[in-house]
Amino acid sequence: MGLKETNLLRAGTTLLGFSGERVQPLGFVTLPVSFGDNNGHAMSMVNFAVIRAKSGYNAILGRTTLNSFGMVISTPHPCAKFPTSRGVVTIRGDAKQATRCFQNATQLIVDQVDPRESHPVVPQEGFINVTLGGEDSSKIVNISSSVNDKQQTDVVALLSEYIDVFAWSLEDVSGVNIAVCEHHLNISSTASPMHRRRG
């Protein structure tokens, strides 16, 4: 595009990356972005934060930009639609190219992981069964065996004090709307169930 770093507007903003890392942008630039097809087109000036990073993508458009076009995205169909005065514009993506971008982005993340920095998961040495609410109670919790006697006593005292806060059975959550704890699979009602063999 012929842009140079001198075209960037400097700002002391720090961006937060996808994995929580802080990124200092080189600067910001406002560029015209246009979408269209035979039914029409629309153009909007979009503010971009420019960063120095390896990425499988040239640019990432955020919700603010998509909303400025009134765009509706369909990820399963790689397609986007938005209204114009001449009709609805449909932008179709390339599924193979999108897969390549995703694979490139994933590989870049894998390449940045230093195997020397990875810490192996250490299994707990063991745990102690503790019954809350008396000897005949069925309210049992597990406490790590690595805690000392004082810590164990403090944890048991705290759990015993708030014993009524925990849901020990389905009856304990009778006042909770089932929609909170129940989920469903988002599949077509016309799909036939199939049994898949393993092996």
pLDDT of residue 120: 60
Mean pLDDT in the chain?
80
Pick the closest to residue 139 from 169, 176, 181 (CA basis). 169
Question: Which positions ≥6 away from 19 have C-beta within 8 Å?
Answer: none
26 in Cβ contact with 51 (< 8 Å):
yes
Residue the block writes with tokens 């009778």: 174
8 A C-beta contact, residue 56 and residue 71: no
- Please, are residues 24 and 48 in contact by the beta-carbon 8 Å criterion? no
Distance CA 158, CA 122 (A): 27
* Chain segment 28-52, per-residue pLDDT in tens: 899 999 988 888 888 989 988 888 8
Q: Whole-angstrom distance between the N-terminal and C-terminal Cα of the chain?
A: 53
- Per residue in 117-168, pLDDT tens? 556 656 567 788 888 887 778 888 888 888 888 988 898 888 888 888 777 7
Q: Choose the weakest-confidence range: 16-20, 87-91, 128-132.
A: 16-20
DSSP per residue, 41-106: EEEEEEEEEE-----S-S----HHHHHHHT-EEETTTTEEEEEETTEEEEEE--HHHHHHHHHHHH
Of 74-78, 101-105, 137-141, 177-181, the least confident: 177-181
Could you tell me whether strands 15-16 and 22-23 are parallel, antiparallel, or unpaired per DSSP bridges? antiparallel
Give the percent of the chain with pLDDT over 90.
2
* SS3 of residue 180 by DSSP: helix
